[in-house]
Amino acid sequence: MAMKITGLWHHKNGFWYWSRMREGKKITVALGTKDRHEAFEKAVAMLKSPPVLLTADTLEKEIDLFAADKVAKGQFSRFSGPEKKRTVLRFAKWHGLHLPIKSVTQSQIEKYIEDLRTVQHCKPSTVLGYVMAIRSFFSWLVEKKKLLSNPCEHIDLGERNYGAKGNGMHPDEPPLYCEEDLRDAFLSEWRTIPEDVMDKATAWMIGFVVHAGFEGGMRKNEIIEARPDWFFIRGQNSLRICKTDSFTPKGKKPRDIPMTDVFAAFMKEFFPRHSGKWCIAPNVVRGASKYRYDFNRPFNIYVDYVAKKRSTNLLWFSAHVMRHTFGSLLAKAGISLYKISKWLGDSPKVVNDHYAHLQGGDEAINKLHSPRLPAHPCALASVSAEKAASKKNFRKAALPLDGED
């Protein structure tokens, strides 16, 4: 006789099982599978098992205590604390907020990682950040003696370097940047974006964002905090990033950047349309969040628009890639790495680690010899065929005639 299961249901990324009620709330369990047959077998096993007695140690409650404790000890800042909490809550909602902390296993976390990669299409660096936050949460539970072991402890993601090299990728990989044609598409397509995709005011804001990133190498928060009086310093095509009442630049020192003709022309168009304290979102004041205003949502809409128009994949693209593009294209053009470091506001070592490989090839070593000096004999092998032929003809003409000494 076939067994009937009530409470088994499919939602979003797999099957869930509503096993019982507790204190007026549905207790649901993520079965961790998209296969109907496997989900049925798991639900039957749970139905035959004794009921789970929930304690106060649910994921939801412990996540609140975790974030509060870390912030109080200074291990998380007022910005990173809420972000870590949101990250762990995202996993808890996937697993089951009201389930006990002991219900989480390594295999379930691995399935969550696979979901992040294949269903939510998160970047490798994003997946790593999420799992590190979850690992930190379970380490805290072990420290508080609420768990015997950390279910994340033996999960290997392949560590990635967030430092100078790699841009959150493998340390040996160079930072991502756009070639000139893709950069130019980003600098122009916002003008033609349809109003049913983005209204004109937002399009002009995105225009400022992409020009500040690609043409000025500005960091995300520098773009957000940019003031009108930073531009056209002393009437010149230059920009100065400096301290304000809501912002302190990295290194706590002002930074001067010459404006390209492209950037200057855009700003002369932009300012007549602008009024307010800040260049973007002028009416939004700083609150408790990391950024005074976050342009991620319209920016991602614009990136998707450009990707569809060019029939290309831009899942790798981010606001920081614009800054890397600024440095990379300058390095490829042969600009001094010291100058680039000044314009980017990074140390010469960091800029050398990022961009030195983009400068001239090994043939640049021939600049050791001044062009005013005669060519070294060993360099004759590299002359063009035409020059070689002319030298040969010259030598023949110089040979003595028959019968001459």
Q: What one-character DSSP code corresponds to residue 226?
A: -
Write the CA distances from 183 to 37, 43, 189, integer angstroms: 49, 52, 10
The answer to whether residues 65 and 47 belong to one domain is: no
The domain of 78 spans 55-159
> Whole-angstrom Cα distance, residue 331 to residue 355?
6
**pLDDT at residue 166, rounded to an integer:** 38
Same domain, 89 and 35: no
Q: Does 26 reside within a domain?
A: yes
Q: Which two tokens stand for residue 235?
A: 């009437």
Is position 150 within any domain? yes
In a domain? residue 35: yes
Per-residue pLDDT, 228: 94
Residue 222: which residues within 8 A CB-CB, separation 6 or more? 212, 241, 247, 249
Confirm whether 334 is domain-assigned.
Answer: no
- 147 and 109 in a common domain: yes
At 53 the pLDDT is: 36
* Residue 83 buriedness (CB in 10 A; 0-12 / 13-18 / 19+): middle
The two three-digit tokens of residue 344, written as one number: 């980017």
Residues 192 and 307 in one domain: yes
Name the 3-class secondary structure at 370: coil
Total of domains in the chain: 3
Map residue 245 onto helix, strand or coil: coil
Last residue of a domain, one of 159, 191, 222: 159
Of the three residues 299, 316, 333, the one that is the final residue of a domain is 316
Asked if residue 194 and residue 254 are part of one domain, the reply reads yes
37 and 105 part of one domain: no
Q: Check whether residue 14 and residue 75 sit in a common domain.
A: no
Q: What is the pLDDT along the chain (405 residues), one digit of tens a residue?
A: 455 566 776 765 667 666 555 445 555 666 667 777 777 777 777 666 544 433 446 787 888 888 888 888 778 776 677 888 888 888 888 888 777 777 888 888 888 888 888 888 887 878 888 888 898 898 888 888 888 888 888 887 654 443 333 333 344 455 688 999 999 999 999 999 999 999 999 999 999 999 999 999 999 999 999 999 999 988 899 999 999 998 999 888 899 999 999 999 999 999 988 888 999 998 888 877 778 899 999 999 999 999 999 998 888 898 999 999 999 999 998 899 999 999 999 988 888 888 888 876 666 566 666 565 455 555 545 445 555 555 555 555 555 545 544
Nearest residue to 202 (alpha-carbon basis) of 281, 265, 275, 277: 281
Q: Are strands 25-30 and 14-22 parallel, antiparallel or unpaired?
A: antiparallel
- d(CA 286, CA 302) in angstroms, rounded, equals 25
Report the interhelical angle of 80-95 vs 59-72 (nearest 10°): 170
d(CA 238, CA 221): 19
Q: How far is CA 268 from CA 201, 263, 265, 329, in A?
A: 16, 9, 5, 24
Query: What's the CA gap between 375 and 275, in Å, rounded?
Result: 61
46 & 75 share domain: no
Distance CA 273, CA 207 (A): 12
Which long-range contacts (C-beta less than 8 Å, at least 24 apart) are formed by 18-21? 19/46, 19/47, 19/51, 19/52, 20/51
- What pLDDT is attached to residue 126? 82
Residue-level pLDDT at 96 = 80
Of 23, 25, 21, 100, nearest in space to 60 by CA: 100
What is the model's pLDDT at position 36? 78
Give tens-digit pLDDT for 195-249: 999 999 999 999 999 999 999 999 999 999 999 999 998 889 999 999 999 899 9
CATH code: domain of residue 148: 1.10.150.130
